[in-house]
Amino acid sequence: MNIKELHNPVWKRSDNLRDPSVFKASDGYYLFYSRYSNNDWNRPENWSVACTFTRDFINFENDRDISGKGFASPGDVIQWNGKYILPYQSYPDVPTMLCYSLSEDLKNWSDPVFFLEEARELPWNQANRVIDPTFVTEGERLHCFFVGTDRVHYQSATNLVGHAYTDDPELKKWIITTVDKPLIGACEEAPDGAENVTVFNNGKEWIMIYSEGLKNQHLAYIVSTDLIHWHSRGRIEIPVQSWLTTKYGAPFVWKEDDCWMMILMGEDKDSHTTLGLLTSADGFSWKLLSEQ
């Protein structure tokens, strides 16, 4: 990938492209995302998890749905017990639940396997919904960050981030560390909470970047040494470009040889969502690619 040849947004379609994640392979990049079509948010047939392949973020090929209809929000693809595993969620039908699919080749994916259903019953998750899974491996332990909602009515919803981990190779037995209160709650800058977590290690500590706020969405970060205890919240300032002039969120971060890369969902003045890229030397300060 030659960053100097790229301009934002790097990828756009007639469909709304949301919730991106990237898996860097030896021959290029698998870009997973939520495909939202037809501008009717509440119909499951308008949602699917999709994937495309690119070698350079200029040309994209084999764009296709890899889930059935009624699914969204792909998280980090990880390697687990000899297979690739992709977490995502059912959406928008109630109850909204976490699931994952397995693959041996990053192309053919299994039917969804539902997991961590007990997170729906957390006392702070009053809406009994679980969305936005993010997987992080730490040796033989698998961490999952997820989002619940503290009110039943979406118009007044506050999204909150929770955490669980498992040492079970079958991913059936989970320990939730955020039973009594969420990891990330509401704050003055975001009274409606947080969602869409991405987590990476910069060689010294873990950094979590997430979408802060729902109506006035922007990016924030916290840091940790153990993936359980987090601190030092800060806001990530990003200049305005036309493809994200309304709001932006759903970050995903990965490492290139000489920098960190972030792919980001942006919403323009017409409420259309596309995907753009940012770069960073340290994982905290981010620079948008120039706009096309």
- Read off the pTM: 0.95
CA pair distance 189, 212, nearest whole angstrom: 8
Nearest to 273 by CA among 245, 254, 292: 245
- For strand 247-255 and strand 218-224, is the pairing parallel, antiparallel, or unpaired? unpaired
Q: What is the pLDDT along the chain (292 residues), one digit of tens a residue?
A: 888 899 999 999 999 999 999 999 999 999 999 999 998 999 999 999 999 999 999 999 999 999 999 999 999 999 998 999 999 999 999 999 999 999 999 999 999 999 999 999 999 999 999 999 999 999 999 999 999 999 754 557 899 999 999 999 999 999 999 999 999 998 888 888 999 999 999 999 999 999 999 888 899 999 999 999 999 999 999 999 999 999 999 999 999 998 999 999 999 999 999 999 999 999 999 999 999 8
Please state the φ and ψ torsions of residue 5, each to the nearest 5 degrees.
-90, -5
- What pLDDT shows up at residue 152? 56
**Token pair belonging to 178:** 């955020």
CA distances from 140 to 23, 89, 170, 180 (A): 20, 24, 12, 26
CA pair distance 117, 126, nearest whole angstrom: 14
Phi-psi region of 247 (alpha: psi -120 to 50; beta: other; left: phi over 0): beta
Contact 132, 197 (CB under 8 A): yes
Handedness of CA 211, 212, 213, 218 (dihedral sign): negative
CA pair distance 216, 33, nearest whole angstrom: 22
CA pair distance 55, 22, nearest whole angstrom: 12
**Residues constituting the chain:** 292
CA pair distance 199, 291, nearest whole angstrom: 26
- For strand 16-25 and strand 218-224, is the pairing parallel, antiparallel, or unpaired? unpaired
Q: How many other β-carbons are positioned within 10 Å of the β-carbon of residue 114? A: 12
- What pLDDT shows up at residue 200? 97
CA pair distance 94, 77, nearest whole angstrom: 25
Nearest to 45 by CA among 14, 67, 62: 67
- What pLDDT shows up at residue 250? 97
Q: How many other β-carbons are positioned within 10 Å of the β-carbon of residue 62? A: 10
Handedness of CA 193, 87, 82, 28 (dihedral sign): negative
The DSSP call for residue 5 is G
